[in-house]
Structure 1
Amino acid sequence: MILKELRADKWALLLIVLLLLPSCISTNTIVRKDNSSWNEQNIASFEKKLEALRQKHHIPGFSVGIVNQGELKWKKGFGVRDIETQEIPDENTVYHTASITKTFGALVLMQLIEDGKFSLNDPLKKHDIKLPGKWGLSDNIQIKHLLTHTARGNTLNGFKPGYKHRYNGSWFHLLGNAYLSAAGKDFSELVVNDIIKPIGMTNTAPSLDDSLAFAKTGLDPDAYAKKVAKPYDWFKKKIVPVDFNYNFGPAAGLMSTVSDLAKYSNAIDSRLFLSSESWNSMLTPFATPKGKETIYGLGWFVHDYYGLKFIWHTGWWKGYSSLFLKVPELDLTFIILANSQDVSRPFYKFLIGNSLHKDLLASDFATTFIDHFVIKKEN
């Protein structure tokens, strides 16, 4: 009898807890921020958090900007662009953008497709693109599979293309052959003449280490080099300089500034260079043959958070890192370029299966921007 009473009391107590639980849990509602985000207090808080993150991740310096209503509404340099000279970076400091280059690579390809030079459904072999290993023998891998990082597949689907998103910058780089095959011009000539120059990106250029590609800009390499932030790395608990040669191609190697990427952002918002239909294709998640959405469109990561569409690309290369993030519905673009890998590296946690490639919110820099300018929590 006593045991039955104890059991009854336990269940009664559990029922009381369940009834009271809702009042103990936060009932915050996520709402979108408005123009009040631009007040001095919020800006100061944002800058303070960015500086704390810079120090936490041992980043010598970075340049940051937010684009709104067609202008670079806020910009600031943090830390130093050169440890020896202690120069402070600004919106015109040049950095390697690393994989942000892929967005330009995809844009140029889409221009050629609109011109009827080739198709997203063209097999790679048609354009003399040869993948390594078993994939090089496949007749089923198409241009779109490289653009969307779905060429590789996995053991579960017999390595069939289109079924699985597996980010692969090296394979994306092989798209360089497609430009030559379709247009008889290399990527550097096309991106400089068809994208960079028309929108006045005067401080944007192919890697200085690729002298032939850089020469397409007509810029003086010595003068340009003086604008470039020196690359560093956090190694054995020290910030050390990096000595590295940076290649150039559709996957990486483009050098740029916050102010120039703001112009690029405006071109995207204005739907320049392509038809609206082509832009929509680029900025829509690729769907597998079974109808499952991936997290990548044509050269861009695309995903919904808080009921809003986010479009972004990260960059991560030895000595540099970057994040280019757009929230179209709120007319906001966040740009950060750094002279070490650590804007991105702490969030590329391959060993535990969690990386910035899979979840934008893994980035402290992205979430700091979102918390200050995109959403707020209301009780």
Structure 2
Amino acid sequence: MVHNFNSGPSVLPKEVFEEASRAVLDFNGTGLSILEIGHRTSLFQAVIDEAIQTTRELMKLDSDHEVLFLHGGASTQFFQIPMNLLAEGSTAAYLDCGTWGKKAIKEAKLYGNVEVVASSKDRNYTYIPKGYNIPSNATYFHYTTNNTIEGTQMHSIPETSVPLVADMSSDILSYEMDFNRFALIYAGAQKNMGAAGVNLVVVKKDILGKAGRPLPTMMDYREHIANGSLLNTPPVFAIYVAMLTLRWLKQQGGVSVIEKINDRKAQLLYDTLDSLPVFHPTVAKEDRSKMNVVWVMDDPDLEKEFLAICKDNGMVGIKGHRSVGGFRASLYNALPLESVELLTSLMKEFALKKLNRICLRLFLSRHCGLLLSLPAR
């Protein structure tokens, strides 16, 4: 059995794979593949209608917010957001708490003034800044709710009257929150919502049309709203997989139910890490992510040994990002609790083995008057 801890593209529910694979051969008994149906047919209209409606239900959105499924992934939104919202000469506030926030700041500076209200770069983004002030004259305040690479997460929504813009790519629909408090939400689908190739945007209509600059048609949120996400040929298969994943989440009981499961997975892994001295979580406890758990070991050789054990036990995607090192386990909605249970079992066995070797070396050294050449690892 394979246990998929990849950070994205990542694990999907088995039911989604099965339904999507059937649709590749024959979509709903039509004799056509989902890969070849027309995007302006009633067949696909039913797909995107369900995807939008299920998103609205799961997020409990009010009528002021529109749901879009767009090309480009989350990184496109780094420039599409300021292009649509930030007038020349105006200021947007940004929180620099990870790699993706840093990239978003770079793109926003092309369209207006950017005030970085706080940064955790000084400690390699291993904590979330606190106690910062959001300027009241800012057009919007942008932050990343969960940092996939560094393993930090915002556990509350900032209190401000400034319109909130959030990159929720790696924790979207993983826990309950008041999504209506946001002026704009965006998320690449490939972590908690489906396959790579489509980007969810939830936008409050009244913030649009104020930037005062001409916009390319494809970059204008209002055009996408007017055309129901069908302004041009959409990523049909990616939207279909997203629809199936959203349907699956609804069938599980919705966000409140999946949140309880996610809490169990995260607590089990963090409790295990905290109890075993051989492993070292890198993130401040109060800012730990429930989606992406990051840790290191003191000895690179031990890291290689444990990584090999994980590989032998069918665990993929466990190696940490190159900028952080060590390990990263992504605990997205579709990851079974059983996968985390197996991982923590391997960790305990590995740590006990190392402890026994150390104790034996000390015993022989102290009681036999000599240190036998037992391997340290």
Q: Which has the higher strand share?
A: 1
**Normalising to structure 2: TM-score of the pair?**
0.28
**Normalising to structure 1: TM-score of the pair?**
0.28
